[in-house]
Chains A and B, each alone.
Chain A
Amino acid sequence: MTKIAADLDRCVGSGQCVLTNPDAFDQSDEDGTVVLLQDTPADDEALKRARIAVEICPSRALSLTE
């Protein structure tokens, strides 16, 4: 099962992941860092979007693991 992981120390709160899929990612009001709403992509579309988020996250804070 593919899982999404986020490294909050690396995250710089750009919001790029939220733009990619607001159902899967949100940001904390405190320090803008990512909040994972789903830790496994719900379907193929969510997986596709998760891959895009990993690719464009500017701080390399996101990863996918099998």
Chain B
Amino acid sequence: MTAPALQTTRRCPYAPPDEHTRIRDTESGISQVTLPSGQVAWALSRLEHIRAMLTDPRFSSDRQHPNFPRFTREQPAFDLMRPSIIQLDPPEHGPARKAVVGEFTVRRMAGLRPRIQQIVNEHIDAMLAGPRPADLVRALSLPVPSLVICEQLGVPYRDHDFFQSHSSALLSRVVTAEGRRQAVTELRDYLKELIAEKAADPADDLLGRQLAQGNDPEDVLSLAFLLLIAGHETTANMISLGVVTMLERPDELAALREDPARTLPAIEELLRVYTIAEFANSRVAVEDVEIGGVTIRAGEPVLALSNAANHDPSAFDEAEEIKLDRGARNHVAFGFGIHQCLGQNLARMELQIVFDTLFRRIPTLRLATPADTLPYKNDALIYGIHEVPVTWEDPA
């Protein structure tokens, strides 16, 4: 019997496809599916199983492994750069991560707050000065995280447009394999030159400090590329999804506006229910492993249905409900194990500043089209919304 094709269309903007829920409700919670690449992968759907896999060194993150779960027929362009931390296993992963994670601690992120606040203010000013309705995605969701990561790395502002158009080409699913390869090559060449300039003329930014610590410029290049790509569209999609969700819940939004201490728990809940990077937690087995009574053989691809796991009724009460004050942080929206998101505290800070500022400054903000007609990204690797038309009243 051939394994059924993986479904990716959600039952509603946050509920997993019925197929994922069905797998989760089988006795083992594990089943085989066929990926768009033609690979047959094990699909894990329960929180307990996914957490077990992500903390088990018998599963590898080596994205160049021929059996690593893929969503396209072609192999991605791995020959263009050295592997970055997201692809490394122990023992290489730890030292490479520790060389940079000091840049992303909770305290370091708190230090960025004033500058992020300024960037958010400027983008809201520009949106208010422009026509109505405005597209929130272009006005706020995309430019804010993109500018923040560019500044942190030390990418000059004048190159920001180049960077933004290239990174969106990379994440688009309609772009061809050659188009993607070209975008990667151009972005790589750009970063290579930037890193060479910083090596010659040391700069006090993340890339400059990586070089000053004596890291190999080729590794700094892979890291720069990863940080630019991983931190941009993800946060942007969470901004859009979060704003739409809150606008649809006026009572909870009013409570949030009254008490900013509610924002961080609300962000955790939004991360859980939407699980936008749900397939990022996939692995390939490098030894035989038993999970939930199923033996996964060395060399077999394993897909994490992380959104199904984040709605697992054995881990969350009334798991299908959005409860902005739930306060649960045991979800896997940022992954789990040694690869858990390096930029999570930056993402939280950006989301917090955007939500608090936007709803305070534009109390009359509303969707210009009904929420259920918004173009959700059911066909993209990272879930989100393509466009969010919003409007508001003139201040009285």
Roughly how many angstroms separate A13 CA and B100 CA in the complex, as a whole number?
A: 10
Q: CB-CB < 8 A to A26: which residues of B?
A: 107
A34 to chain B, nearest CB (A): 10
Instruction: Say if the beta carbon of A2 comes within 8 Å of chain B.
Output: no
Roughly how many angstroms separate A56 CA and B98 CA in the complex, as a whole number?
A: 20
> Is the pair A58, B330 in contact by a Cβ cutoff of 8 Å?
no
> Is the pair A19, B108 in contact by a Cβ cutoff of 8 Å?
no
> Is the pair B330, A32 in contact by a Cβ cutoff of 8 Å?
no
Q: CB-CB < 8 A to A20: which residues of B?
A: 329
Cβ contact of B106, chosen from A18, A31, A52, cutoff 8 A? A18
Q: Total interface residues on B, using CB and 8 Å?
A: 28
> Is the pair B335, A15 in contact by a Cβ cutoff of 8 Å?
no
Q: CB-CB < 8 A to A15: which residues of B?
A: 104-106, 344-345
> Is the pair B105, A29 in contact by a Cβ cutoff of 8 Å?
yes
Instruction: Say if the beta carbon of B101 comes within 8 Å of chain A.
Output: yes
Residue of A nearest to B332 (CB): A58
Instruction: Say if the beta carbon of A28 comes within 8 Å of chain B.
Output: yes
B96 to chain A, nearest CB (A): 11
Roughly how many angstroms separate A20 CA and B101 CA in the complex, as a whole number?
A: 19
Q: CB-CB < 8 A to B94: which residues of A?
A: 9, 12
B345 to chain A, nearest CB (A): 5
> Is the pair B338, A52 in contact by a Cβ cutoff of 8 Å?
no
Cβ contact of B101, chosen from A9, A22, A32, A58, cutoff 8 A? A32
Within 8 A of B (CB), among A12-66: 12-16, 18-20, 22, 26-33, 52, 55-56, 58-60
Roughly how many angstroms separate A9 CA and B338 CA in the complex, as a whole number?
A: 11
Q: CB-CB < 8 A to B98: which residues of A?
A: 12-13, 31-33
> Is the pair A32, B329 in contact by a Cβ cutoff of 8 Å?
no
> Is the pair A13, B104 in contact by a Cβ cutoff of 8 Å?
yes
Q: CB-CB < 8 A to A33: which residues of B?
A: 98
> Is the pair B107, A27 in contact by a Cβ cutoff of 8 Å?
yes
Render B331-359 as a binary contact track against A, CB cut-off 8 A, 1 for contact.
Answer: 00011111111101100100000000000
Q: CB-CB < 8 A to A13: which residues of B?
A: 97-98, 101-102, 104-105, 342
Instruction: Say if the beta carbon of B99 comes within 8 Å of chain A.
Output: yes
Which 7 A-B pairs give the minimum distances between C-beta atoms? A32-B101, A13-B101, A58-B340, A31-B98, A27-B105, A18-B106, A15-B106
